[in-house]
Chains A and B, each alone.
Chain A
Amino acid sequence: MFFAALFQTLVGQVVTVELKNDLCIRGTLLSVDPYLNVRLADVVVTEPEAFPALLALRHSCTVRGSCVRYVHLPPDQVDVQLLQDATRQVASAVKAARVRPVGE
């Protein structure tokens, strides 16, 4: 959920998605869902010679979140300080949610 929100802020940016089968797809981020499935537009396979079956891939594609290994993000588009603060907040909220039922 938390990273879905991060990707939401990157909609419209060019990202590279690296899959677990080493396939790299570069494209404009169209949308993300809570499962981190990502929809890309104007996709380019960075090593087409390794994946000739994907030569036809041109316009857009949806990648299942579970197949993703990395998403290379544009560093100038991500406020890492904000990300760290949000991470701390979410981590303590998650922990509080786990601990709270005890007091009752």
Chain B
Amino acid sequence: MQSAGSAAEGASTNGALTGGSILGEPSDLVRLCLDELVYVKLRGERELVGRLHGYDQHLNMVVGDAEETVMSTEVDEETFEQIVRTRKRKLPLVFVRGDTLILISPLFRQSGASR
């Protein structure tokens, strides 16, 4: 309980530092991304760009109108050069399991970020 109390104190001072905004925790940043275009980096050299429609505490998420980019590297047999191939595809509405997620970022700087 003691540790929980001090952790919350830390959170509240953090809130004061950010001008009393709700931007105290990483999950708050994700909340601000709701209904915004987001860039999501996933395991397996995958990236998604799409509109975030929902997420939960595991960072499972639902992304709409997404474009997925899969990158694969191949080594040329003769020159030993690395060739990076990218494949793109459209995903109209997709549920993404959170355990494959590496990072999520808003695609554009939000005008109301200090809300």
- Chain A residues engaging chain B, CB cutoff 8 angstroms: 1-3, 6-7, 20, 36, 65-66, 68-75, 78, 80, 83-84, 86-88, 90-91, 94-95, 99, 101-102
Contacts and interface: CB of A to CB of B under 8 A. Distances in A.
The bracket for how many chain B residues form the interface is: 20 to 34
Contacts of A66: 97, 99
A2 B18 CA distance: 30
Interface of B: 1, 4-5, 8, 11, 25, 27, 31, 34-35, 42, 44, 53-57, 60, 62, 64, 91-97, 99-100
Contacts, number: 84
A1 B89 CA distance: 29
B95 A3 contact: yes
